């Protein structure tokens, strides 16, 4: 009979491999600053820009090589006309392991809000 006393089920990341929202926010900020240099609001292009920004942020987060984390990136781009905008979301998650990093880019012609959710996969 096999010895099953060595359980390998991991329910929490160790401290060195936890998602750090502050570091991820800096990463998102640099992606947004680099991506939107010289860009003006364009209704037709915004759909593609949302996809491109989301993919860039997700790829940068994957480069952190945090084991068992899955990422969801939500990007909203709109025309800057001086009106206020609020972006909200609801999630069900484990507050010990799952985290959120977000940043907003604002220029004279557009705004971009990015929220990156890091969810630990048990």
Tens-place pLDDT, residues 3-43: 556 666 778 899 999 999 999 999 999 999 999 999 999 99
At 45 the pLDDT is 96
Q: Confidence band (pLDDT; 50, 70, 90) for 89? A: confident
For residues 117 and 98, what is the distance between their CA atoms, to the nearest angstrom?
7
At 88 the pLDDT is 83
Q: At what angle do helices 21-35 and 43-62 cross, to 10 degrees?
A: 140
Helices (H), 1-122: 21-35, 43-62
């Amino acid at each position: 009979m096999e010895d099953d006393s060595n359980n390998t089920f991991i329910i929490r990341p160790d401290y060195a491999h936890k998602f750090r929202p502050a570091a991820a926010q800096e990463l998102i900020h640099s992606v947004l600053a680099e991506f939107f240099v010289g860009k003006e609001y364009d209704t037709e292009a915004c759909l593609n820009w949302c996809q491109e920004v989301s993919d860039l942020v997700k790829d940068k987060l994957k480069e952190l090589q945090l084991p068992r984390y899955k990422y969801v990136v939500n990007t909203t781009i709109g025309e800057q006309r001086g009106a206020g905008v609020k972006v909200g979301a609801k999630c069900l998650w484990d507050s010990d392991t799952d985290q959120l990093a977000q940043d907003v880019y604002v220029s004279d012609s557009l705004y971009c809000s990015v929220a990156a959710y890091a969810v630990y996969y048990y």
